[in-house]
Structure 1
Amino acid sequence: MAQLKIRDLYDLLHHAPRRRDLAQDGIRLVYDGSALRMSTADAPDTVIACADTCGFTTEPWDVTAYRASITSTQVWLRILTSEHGDHLIDVAPFWAQRPAAITFTAGGHTAAFPAIACPTAPANRRP
């Protein structure tokens, strides 16, 4: 799990390219224990945006989510940012079920979306 300020996550996701600009419908989020980096499935090694994490830390993870999932999350974050921008939000892969998912949790609410790829999930839980 990565914890970020809601405002920082919103700013990071704001840099995601439009779906029509992607050959593959995937936004890659990589957490290394200190920062969350975003790239695309088209160019996974090219970092588009980065945000420092704060709060609780876990093991590193890597997940690629559908671009549409990121759009839905941005709408939710825009609402939260106006009143709670400095509060923390949890971003984490979730593989208790198959396929793996990416989850965003803040203020007692969780949004979960299926993952396209999650190489850090156990082999039997990968999409």
Structure 2
Amino acid sequence: MQTHENVEIPRFLGADFAKTYTGRSLPSCGLMVGDLVCLRAASQVANGSLAAVQDGEDTLLGRLFRINNGVALVPLDTACPARIFAEGKDDSPRVVGEVTGWVHSVKRQKSGEEGGAGL
């Protein structure tokens, strides 16, 4: 996901920043490629919360659960397996925020193109 710093986020979402979702479209929960995922900056989230987690170069989106000696990230995409991370290790992923919602992107065609609405 790419971070957007100069995006106007609807106030009711209570988010600090947004990232563009680049995973597979997930019609079952309404998340589509290109949507802006709105996040409240946080280094910790409540058990079972939907969170964005930085793992190396990747930002992962899923429900975060505390387990024995670590955390499990369960993706919204049921085709992807859960990831288990040991707590306290140097290579542990970092929670970057709690998801407050998402905003669908709208692709507009240039005026004059077939099917374009001139917006």
TM-score for the superposition, normalised by structure 1: 0.29
Q: Which has the larger radius of gyration?
A: 2
Name whichever structure is richer in strand by fraction: 2
TM-score for the superposition, normalised by structure 2: 0.30
| Higher relative contact order (Cα pairs below 8 Å, separated by 6+ residues) | 1
